[in-house]
Amino acid sequence: MNTPPVIAIHGGAGTIAAAAADAASAAPYRAALHDIVSAAQAMLLRGGSALDAACLAVEMLEDCPLFNAGHGAVFTHDETHELDAAVMNGSDLRAGAIAGVSRVRRPIRAARAVMEDGSHVLLAGTGAEFFARERGLEMVDPSYFSTEARRQQLHRARASDRVSLDHDSGPLAEGTKFGTVGAVALDMHGHLAAATSTGGMTNKRVGRIGDSPLIGAGTYADDATAAVSCTGSGEMFMRAVAAYDVCARMRYAGQTLQQATDAVVMQTLPPMGGRGGLIAVDRLGNVCLPFNTEGMYRAHARGADAPHTAIHR
């Protein structure tokens, strides 16, 4: 089988103020999205696996301080960092995830290590960090994840006594942005994979875990249907089992990727206050990137075609 490979990535969804997003302020985000999706695209064109490409994209997103994952992650109420990540391989339904870590430099690598170990699917806190260290993954002081912009964001959230999903202000005057990064890929062998990583919510209660590391809620992949990575109000995505619901609608109800993703994002989530979006690619290479907020950082590339990047509709 020789399928044109597809890669799609997201850097979070939310009420990104289109009126304030002039070309200059949007340029760094678009450039980062373009470079990251291009690197994953090149890997796929060399015959790389969907799993490798999705993980590469998320690693690069974790390293970019513009997005809420890895370096540049948001702060908890106690001015600490708690990072979550998950990965799933569509060909065999293997999955791995970590939650609540603060010393693993690249959380997505730890999630993949959990998957490859195979004993468990989800490890959290100090146990996850011990596992990562045992596997030889790079560890850092928690201060590595801190940026001054995120610290100021926490102080503003504390002053207003609220929990914020990523930026409450910033270069794009974003209002409230849902801070998660993710990638989904289809390789030329017809295999699918999904990867997701997040720093959580600004000013969140210590110990809170969202949908990103929960297989079926924020992350899911199955070669028979699709690969999905979500971003948004995690509690609602968990209640809707959003990522799995997309694949279930395709498998059991015969819906197309477009029908399934629209149903979840536009119909299932809004009545319960679920705001955000998702990225998905199916086994035929169709791509859907729906969101019910003003914008979602996103990019995708098919085959050797030039990548597309977007922030608003």
pLDDT in tens, 2-13: 789 999 999 998
Is 233 annotated as belonging to a binding site? yes
Mean per-residue pLDDT, 16-42: 87
pTM of the model: 0.94
- Sheet with 219-221, strands from edge to edge, namely 219-221, 226-232, 276-282, 287-288
Under the banding of pLDDT at 50, 70 and 90, the label for residue 157 is confident
> Among the listed ranges 19-23, 85-89, 137-141, which one has the minimum average pLDDT value?
19-23
Answer for the pair 4, 285: CB distance below 8 angstroms, yes or no. yes
Answer for the pair 73, 83: CB distance below 8 angstroms, yes or no. yes
Is 208 annotated as belonging to a binding site? yes
**What's residue 9's pLDDT?**
98
C-beta neighbour count of 298 within 10 angstroms: 24
pLDDT in tens, 249-290: 999 999 999 999 999 999 999 999 999 999 999 999 999 999
Is 277 annotated as belonging to a binding site? no
Is 209 annotated as belonging to a binding site? yes
Among this protein's residues, is 268 annotated catalytic?
no
**What's residue 48's pLDDT?**
98
Helix 107-117 to helix 50-63 angle, to the nearest 10 degrees? 150
**What's residue 159's pLDDT?**
86
> Among the listed ranges 12-26, 27-41, 95-109, 138-152, which one has the minimum average pLDDT value?
12-26
pLDDT in tens, 275-285: 999 999 999 99
The active-site residue, picked from 180, 225, 261, 309, is: 180
Kindly report the CATH number that applies to the domain delimited by 6-312: 3.60.20.30
